[in-house]
Each structure stands twice: as C-alpha cells, then as structure tokens.
Structure 1
Amino acid sequence: MFGTPSQGRRRFLGATLCGALASCGGSDSDADAAQPAPGPVPDKQVNDAIAQLDKLAADLMTSSGLPGMAVAVVRVDQTVYAKGFGTRLVGSGTAVDADTVFQLASVSKSVGSCVVAQQVGTGSVAWNTPVRAHLPWFTLSDAEVSQEVTVADLYSHQSGLPDHAGDRLEDLGYSQTEVLQRLRYLPLHPFRNSYFYTNFGLTAAAVSVAQAAGVDWATLSERVLYQPLGMSSTSSRYADFAARSNRALGHVRLNGKWVQGIGSMPDAQSPAGGVSSSVNDMAKWLAMMLGKGVYKGKRIVDATALSAAITAQVQSAPPGAGRPASFYGYGFNVGTTAAGRAMFSHSGGFGAGAATNFVAVPSTGLAIVTLTNGYPIGVAETLNAQFFDLVQFGSIQRDWGTLFANGLASVITPEGSLVGVSPPAAPLPARALSAYTGTYRNDYHGPIQVADQGGSLVLSIGPIPMKLPLTHWDGDVFTFTLVNENAAPGTISKASFLSDRVTLEYYDEDGVGTFIR
C-alpha cells in the first residue's frame, strides 16, 4: 500500500510500505499470473466487515489519541459507509464528519494520475510524451535524460532523480518553478533502471501535462476530474483548503500530547501532495476507479490510460525478510493482497500533521479511504488493512498497528548525527568569528550568509532568509536546529567550516550541502 520511508522523509508515503512491511502485497510474476482469480467474497463477510468499522475506528482513536479521522467505503458504485470521528482541532469541540476536508498529502499522486490519464485519453498527451515537449526548460544533470524523460518516467519515479529531490528547497521557500529549475544540479541514479520516490519529479510531469492543456494544474484538475465527479469540496489549491469552514487542521504529538502542527502549504508540489478533499468526495473518485473510469454511467477517464496507471511499471522494493516485492504504477502502488487479489493503493503523510490511505481491491468490488489530521503513525493504514482482512478472511490476520507504527517511526524521528549525543567535555575552541563570516554560494540551495550578530554566529538561508543561530560544538563545527515539514522537532544539523567552505549536514543528503565563500 505504501512504502519504506527513508530517515527524515515527511511527505513520503508513496513507496509501497504495505508490501515492504507485510505480506499484504504480492508480485507480478508469471507464476502468480497463471493462478486462477479468487472467487467472490461472501456478502455476509463484507457486511460484517463494514459493521465492525465503527468499533475498529473508535479503538484506534482511543489507542492513538488521534484528534480526528474520517472513513468511507465504496462497494461497486455506491458509498456504503461514510463517517467522521473525533475533532477537527484539539480543544475546539468541532466534530469531524464525512464532509470534513483533509489534506491528502501523497494520496494526491493517485488522484492527479487520473487527471493525466484523462488527458491521455483525449490525445492531449501520452504517457510516453517527453516532458520537454511542453516544458522545454526542464533540465536534469544529464543532457540525454533531460531530452528523453517522459511523463511516465516521472510518474513511476524512474527518472534517476534522488529520493525526495527538491523537498527541502520547498521548505526554504522556493517556488515551484525555482525548485524544478534547480533539479538540474542534482546527481542522477541510472535512468529507467532505478526507483527513487520524488515529489518534484512527478510535479514536473504534471505541470507539462497542464501546459499542453493550456491551463494551470489546479484548474485542469477541476475541469476534467473534480467537477465531472461532483467533488465539490476537493481542490488542488491550498487557498481553497484554508477557506473551508469544515476543515481538519494538522496535529503532531509533543511530550505525549497531540497539539496543532505548523501546517503544510504544498502548492509548490500540488500534483504530488496538494489535494484536499473529504471522504464523501473521495468515495466518488473511488467509485470511478472501481468502475474503470466510469461514474454513474458516464465515462470520466479513458479505461486504457487508467489501466496503465494501476499496472506495475517498476519494482519499488525487492522481496526480503519474508515479504514479497513491491511495485509502483503511475502514481499508484500496485500488487496483490495476501489472498491473491489484485489491489492498488497509496498513502500520504505530512510531518506537520496529516496521514491518509486508500486501498482498492477490484475483485471484491470494494475500496476504503481513511483520512486523519495527525502526522503519520500508521492509523489510516492499520484501519484499512484490518478492514480488508475481515473482508477476505473473516478475521484480522496480523497486528497491523504495531507493524505500521514501527515502519513509520523514522518519519517522525529527528535527524542529525548529533541527536542524542552529549557535547564534548573539553571542546576545541573556535577561531575568531570573523574567520567564519561572509557569503557562501551553492548552486542548488542558493547562497547563505554567516554573520556575527552580537558575538554569536547566525546563518541565513533561503529566498526569504531563514535565520538560524549557530551554537559552537567543537573546533570549527557549529550546530543549528530546524523544525519544518521535513525536519521533525529535535532535528540537529552540523555546520562544519573548513577554509573557504562550510558543509551543512541537513542539506547534504545528496552531496550538495557544501557552500563556498
């Protein structure tokens, strides 16, 4: 369903965590394909599973303390369950209902993939259209890859861009265009021979599709998907989410208590993480998905183009430790359930307070979506896995809560090699502060300024400078702390000075964190 997040990743949840952590995924091997399709599930089993959702959700709310959650189930083309639990904001007394709007985070990729598929169906673009056909300035560090990379390559994370490329530029305040232009400075993994989950790579593909249509992405999404489906509470603009009176605000857990988070404004990567919606609206989308692009008798998305999106295009995680391989389509995780049924799914998460998941198993005629307003701890995934266990087996097969909580622990863990490390008892002294001050350049992150302010060093970084006080650690090493979408509370970064340069540990994940004076 979702994926193994790397340390410190926040808006991640695309890469098949279900397959990576559990046996709910499967492979697309010839042996699997040769096996007969599973038969229908008994109606009583389905009805019993739906009847247990109230208790399952209430139990998860109690055990996690999660502020709010909404759940919907679609059976064939009908919403058979839609309900809210808890509150939109801790302490407010405002209840969540089935029309409460949540930020979807990376579930936006699956929704947006349908926008692309609709455009593929009209002939405006094809999955294999080069991105440069409509976004001619898009450039990566390899000239040949820049010329050849397609919408499909970027929607299946096979461009070679590093994992989560560009996310930290967004945190610094760079615009969508600025982030996409700076991707050219990143080293690439093997083109079409590697899988690295990248929000801004996918965003570049979506922007090129919108350019082909002659409108911006949010408008295209409204015209070809949200309005035809009657998804009146759904938008790909943050301003629309912020203006909703019935919206769920994000929360994080501090010192064991849920508190309101700093919030996420994901317009820069709207196609990858910027959709907001309610479960009532998402149920309409899931009914269209189960209908292979048809909703209430009307063709919304071309069936062939949509089928490609939910077909395995790349292995996102290899088999191992008793679990099967995981696969990714175009904006969807795809595989088979433990009962051998084809499935597609996705999760989403904001470190500032959102966690979402949907799962569809077409042979059962069922799909479920769970939206929450707390940062990712596995509640949405757990509920959906429990539901499909009950549907397929009549009982819950695994301790999903523990499985997913352990799998997502790194997402809410502070980063930095000095986290939890005691300062040296006898540190080497720093040089005179003037030895460190000045302007340092970096093509990818942009320039930084290190200044002496009242006898202490302050680092300024980003287009709207973020000022970070530096604390001496040892010799020419200083530290600074960060809290943002990708930096969990408690994150510590080293700033290591050497001659005419400084390396910022937090910004050096792809080897581009050295700034030269």
Structure 2
Amino acid sequence: MRALAAPLVAAGLITGCQTSAPQPQSTDPDLPPPLVAAVPIPDNAVADAVAKLDDLAEELMRKSGIPGMAVAVVHGGKTVYAKGFGVADVTTGRKVGPDTVFQLASISKSVTATVVAQQVGAGVVGWDTPIVSRLPWFALSDPAVTRMVTVGDMLAHRSGLPDHAGDVLEDIGFDRRTVLERLRQLPLEEFRTSYAYTNFGFTAGAEAVAVAAGKPWEELAEEALFEPLGMTSTSYRFADYERRPDRAVGHILIDGGYHPRFVRDPDAQAPAAGVSSSVNDMARWIALVLATGRHDGRQLVDEKALLAALTPQSVAARATEPAMRSGFYGYGFDISTSSAGRIEISHSGAFELGTGTNVMMLPSADVGIIALTNATPSGVAETLTAEFADLVQFGEIREDWYGLYREVFDEMAKPIGELAGKSPPPNPRPAAPLSSYVGTYQNDYWGPARVSAAEGGLRLALGRTLDVPLTHWDGNIFTFGLITENAPPGTISRATFDGDKLTLEYFDQFGKGTFRR
C-alpha cells in the first residue's frame, strides 16, 4: 500500500519508541529524569485493560465490517491474551484463532530489524556497514551517496530515495533484483537529513546483511530468529503462507463490502513486508523485544545492537509548533512519546489488497499488543492498540481513535488520477486511426509499453503483469483503470499519445511517465 507507518506518523497518529527493562513507576529520587513519566500507571492497569479487549475488539469488528482479526498481549514476559475474532475467509466461514496465520505487511520491518540486530551483535555486519561493500552492483543516482549509504541508513529511511521508491515496479511484476537495480535512476533528497519511507531501500539493507551472512534472507531469518524463538508458523516466504491450512485470506474493500478478490505476493520486498505469522508466534517476538533481546535465560540478540533499532535514528514527523511532540523512526520501528510522557514502540502494516496490522509496546509498563486483520486497512488495528495504550496509561480511553484513524485511512484509499470519478466528455474529439497508435514505446525505468490492437480497440501491456484495455476519452487521450497494491479501486490513468510519444499519467512518478516509440 502507499506506505502505512510513515503517513500515520506524519499525521501524528502512529506512535512508537525505544525499549528497555521495565521502568519504575514511582518518583524515586534515584530514578534518572529521562525515565520519569508524567503520569503514573494505575494499579492493575494491564489486567484491567486486557479485561476490556473482547468488547473493544467486537465493537470495532461491528463498526468496520472487517471479516477477521486476531489479537495478543504480552506482559511480564508471558502471553496474557491471545484470541481470534470473525472469519479468516468470508467464502468458507472458517474462524480466526490465535494460531491463524496473517500477512503482517510492514510490521515485517520491525521483525527484520531484530534479525539485523542479531547479526550486528554477532559481528557479521554493523549498522554502519556500507551497502556496496556487500552488494557491489547496487547504486543510487549520486555516486558519493552510493559509496556512503549504509545498512542503517536504509533501515532508517534516510538514504534520500523518494517515498515508496520502486513499489510500482513491483506492482507490474518485476522481481527484487530488478527493482533494486532501477533505484539508481531515481532522484535523491538530502542524504541522512531527509526521511522518506521506502520499502525497497529497506530491502536493499536487508539484502546486504543476507549476503554478509552467506545465505538468502528468508533462511537467515529462520536460523537467527524464528527457530530459536519457536516461531513455527512464521516465514518471509509467500509460498509458506499459501501452504498454511489455517491462514487469513486478504479481503479488499470494494463497493462497501470486503471481498477476497486479490492475492498479495510480497516476495520482491520480503524484508520490508513479507512476513506471515500468527499472534501466538508474534507474542514470542514481542516478549524478546521487551526483554531487550533475552529469551529463555540467554541473550539471543545483543542488547546494544537492539537498542540502536529501538531509539531514534530519523525524524519521521517533525513537530509543526514548539509544544508538539515529534515522531521518530529507529531501525524498523516507529518511536514516539505518548501524552503520558511514556515512550511507545510501534509499527503498522497495510496491504490495500487485504491486510491491516499494528503492533505497539510500552516498555515502561513491560507490555505489548499486536492486532492483525485480513482486510483493506481502515484503522481497526491501530485503534485497538491505541485504546489499549490509553487504558494502560490512564485507566480510560481518552480519544476517538477510530474516528481519527478512519479519516487518515479514508484519504489513503481515494482513487488516483485526475479523471477518477469523472464522466467522459459528451462530444469527444475523434481518435486517429487505431493502427497509428500501435507499437512499442521504450522507457528505461518502467521498461517497454506495448500498445496493440485487439477486438476493435487498443490494449496496453507494461512490465510482466499489467495488460489492460485502453478506452477512448477525447482526441488522442485514452484511459485505463487498474487495481493494484498502490492503486485503490476506482483509479483511472490517462494514456496520452503525441506522435511517437506516449505519456502514462499513473506511471509519471518522478517524472518518468514518458515512453517513446
């Protein structure tokens, strides 16, 4: 989807933060001021909040109409709540349970950062390892930045790559290596002082770590994290998700209802969005993070290496006035401070085609919650974790979180294109003979656009998967519709012919929408 975590941070709605051992709640004079929160946590706060989760979850299911959700809470190193709601697939009615496997989308970044921290602690790489020292074929548009950009830069979204660089290349079928190689064609913002959420930049960082470890990323994650934690239902491979008998199917919101019409295969950007898991498995990971890398009495992930991931590395949402709290990004984690003065760690995940997820941790209360849904994101997962955080910190829900999140997600779900929702002109100018438009139009970034005559009309083929009819609009302007991970339902693009030049509005990202025959 067109980013999830980053826009919500920018909107001031997603919070996140560092982790540490449980922090004392008193005003002990020996407690360092940075560890003192503004509001003490109420007695029995976590237990009381957990007791309300059934009602909160069921109410959100009712209001939103989403098919299914699973929720887990970890406190004191133990899973204290794990439950499923609704159905995994509306066509079968199969129920969701705590072992149902969901696609996590961008929560995968936090899991990836944990794997990288394990490798940093083992001395395989450092957060400051240059990408090209492990991926000599990789480049960005500035040779100086190419030499300097590090694993940490990529996992903190501070490389200078534009927002969501490469995502639409994946949408039209290109594989991981092809997308990563084409990033060099994109313009860069300021190196290390700008922030832009980039799935494939993040993936490049993980790929460098995998090469340093001498094994594919998917295998490295299993050996470094999933197997030691006993996360037997967790994988970065889409094929593993598809094989799970108890899996939540993605449902897209179309015409006011949720339907399992599309399948989201995120293998190309697996380190950024490819994890599938259950809330029971993810509870094990949350416990590890809250315990600063310890599991079963041993230090599985080096505490210092993990701390780097869980503390600010980039300003993700700069305050717009002096009294406002800014939002930060570590390595794969959102970081912010709640109105109670407590650090929160979080990340959201979203697939337009049918996944909405959120994880939130309050280290000072030694508690974390994860909510996974199988529907186009509507703010349900974020609302539930925010309500839970309010209950833990204040004993009451203090905001209309669902209303706030719905506003953000509704905006993200709007169709793309200047002609979206508009009617064709009543008396359009005629097109030229269709044969005059037929041909192959070249573009270095997107690859060739192939226009062919078919059944009395025209078709456009681009990449490995896009093949759509062109509908005449006016004169030399045609249109085509598409629904992809980054194109919500209702998206319409213009295709404008001008002699041997073809301009595709939807693909004019970064000024690269011109194709020449």
TM-score by length of structure 1 reads 0.94
Tell me the equivalent position of 1:6: none
Between the aligned partners of 2:500 and 2:242, the Cα distance in structure 1 is 44
Residue 255 of structure 1: CA displacement? Answer: 2.1
Q: Helix, strand or coil for the counterpart of 2:369? A: strand
Greater shift, 223-232 or 490-499, is seen at 490-499
Tell me the equivalent position of 1:457: 458
CA-to-partner distance for each residue in 1:452-482, whole Å, 9 max, x for gaps? 2243121111135x32111111121110011
Percent identity between the two aligned chains: 53
Between the aligned partners of 1:25 and 1:228, the Cα distance in structure 2 is 26
Between the aligned partners of 1:63 and 1:107, the Cα distance in structure 2 is 24
Greater shift, 16-25 or 66-75, is seen at 16-25
Between the aligned partners of 2:303 and 2:486, the Cα distance in structure 1 is 37
CA-to-partner distance for each residue in 1:219-250, whole Å, 9 max, x for gaps? 00000000111111100100110000110000
Is 1:17 equivalent to 2:8 in the alignment?
Answer: yes
Between the aligned partners of 2:437 and 2:34, the Cα distance in structure 1 is 66
Is 1:222 equivalent to 2:213 in the alignment?
Answer: no
Residue 428 of structure 1: CA displacement? Answer: 2.0
Q: Helix, strand or coil for the counterpart of 1:383? A: helix
CA-to-partner distance for each residue in 1:95-144, whole Å, 9 max, x for gaps? 11100000000000000000100000011100010001111101111111
Between the aligned partners of 1:128 and 1:451, the Cα distance in structure 2 is 49
Greater shift, 452-461 or 284-293, is seen at 452-461
Residue 360 of structure 1: CA displacement? Answer: 0.5
Residue 39 of structure 1: CA displacement? Answer: 6.9
* Native 8 Å contact 1:25 1:338 kept in 2: no
Between the aligned partners of 2:255 and 2:54, the Cα distance in structure 1 is 29
* Native 8 Å contact 1:439 1:448 kept in 2: yes
Q: What does 1:16-165 correspond to in 2, within 5 Å? A: 17-18=8-9, 20-22=11-13, 36-37=36-37, 41-165=41-165
Residue 38 of structure 1: CA displacement? Answer: 5.0
Q: Helix, strand or coil for the counterpart of 1:385? A: helix
Q: Helix, strand or coil for the counterpart of 1:206? A: helix
Letter in 2 for 1:401: Y
Between the aligned partners of 1:19 and 1:366, the Cα distance in structure 2 is 25
Between the aligned partners of 1:326 and 1:499, the Cα distance in structure 2 is 48
Between the aligned partners of 1:488 and 1:24, the Cα distance in structure 2 is 26
Between the aligned partners of 2:234 and 2:34, the Cα distance in structure 1 is 40
Between the aligned partners of 1:194 and 1:318, the Cα distance in structure 2 is 11
Tell me the equivalent position of 2:401: 400
Between the aligned partners of 1:106 and 1:25, the Cα distance in structure 2 is 14
Residue 323 of structure 1: CA displacement? Answer: 5.2
**1:216 and 1:454, CA in 2 relative to 1: closer, same or farther beyond 3 A?**
same
Tell me the equivalent position of 1:507: 507
Between the aligned partners of 2:165 and 2:173, the Cα distance in structure 1 is 15
Letter in 2 for 1:456: G
CA-to-partner distance for each residue in 1:172-208, whole Å, 9 max, x for gaps? 1111111111111111112112111000000011011
Residue 356 of structure 1: CA displacement? Answer: 0.4
* Native 8 Å contact 1:104 1:277 kept in 2: yes
CA-to-partner distance for each residue in 1:143-193, whole Å, 9 max, x for gaps? 111111110111011111111111111111111111111111111112112
Q: Helix, strand or coil for the counterpart of 2:44? A: helix
Greater shift, 255-264 or 204-213, is seen at 255-264
Tell me the equivalent position of 1:3: none
Unaligned runs of 5+ in 1: 1-9
Between the aligned partners of 1:381 and 1:361, the Cα distance in structure 2 is 15
Residue 36 of structure 1: CA displacement? Answer: 3.0
CA-to-partner distance for each residue in 1:371-419, whole Å, 9 max, x for gaps? 0101110000000000010111111000000100111113322111101
**1:103 and 1:406, CA in 2 relative to 1: closer, same or farther beyond 3 A?**
same
Residue 442 of structure 1: CA displacement? Answer: 0.6
Greater shift, 453-462 or 260-269, is seen at 453-462
Residue 26 of structure 1: CA displacement? Answer: 9.5
**1:429 and 1:189, CA in 2 relative to 1: closer, same or farther beyond 3 A?**
same
Q: What does 1:41-440 correspond to in 2, within 5 Å? A: 41-320=41-320, 324-440=325-441
Greater shift, 184-193 or 72-81, is seen at 184-193
CA-to-partner distance for each residue in 1:275-312, whole Å, 9 max, x for gaps? 00000010000000000001221211111110010111
Q: Helix, strand or coil for the counterpart of 1:196? A: coil
Between the aligned partners of 2:201 and 2:371, the Cα distance in structure 1 is 26
TM-score by length of structure 2 reads 0.94
Between the aligned partners of 1:436 and 1:184, the Cα distance in structure 2 is 31
* Native 8 Å contact 1:16 1:326 kept in 2: no
Residue 261 of structure 1: CA displacement? Answer: 3.3
Letter in 2 for 1:407: V
Say how many residue pairs are matched.
Answer: 503
Tell me the equivalent position of 2:29: none
Between the aligned partners of 1:447 and 1:221, the Cα distance in structure 2 is 36
Tell me the equivalent position of 2:27: none
**1:112 and 1:34, CA in 2 relative to 1: closer, same or farther beyond 3 A?**
closer
**1:227 and 1:11, CA in 2 relative to 1: closer, same or farther beyond 3 A?**
farther
Q: Helix, strand or coil for the counterpart of 1:443? A: coil
Letter in 1 for 2:6: A
**1:301 and 1:287, CA in 2 relative to 1: closer, same or farther beyond 3 A?**
same
**1:34 and 1:49, CA in 2 relative to 1: closer, same or farther beyond 3 A?**
closer
Between the aligned partners of 1:18 and 1:161, the Cα distance in structure 2 is 18
**1:447 and 1:333, CA in 2 relative to 1: closer, same or farther beyond 3 A?**
same
CA-to-partner distance for each residue in 1:331-356, whole Å, 9 max, x for gaps? 11001111000111100000110000
Residue 51 of structure 1: CA displacement? Answer: 0.3
Residue 216 of structure 1: CA displacement? Answer: 0.2
Between the aligned partners of 1:175 and 1:26, the Cα distance in structure 2 is 33
Between the aligned partners of 1:217 and 1:418, the Cα distance in structure 2 is 41
CA RMSD of aligned residues (A): 1.8
Letter in 1 for 2:110: S
Tell me the equivalent position of 1:448: 449
Residue 33 of structure 1: CA displacement? Answer: 7.0
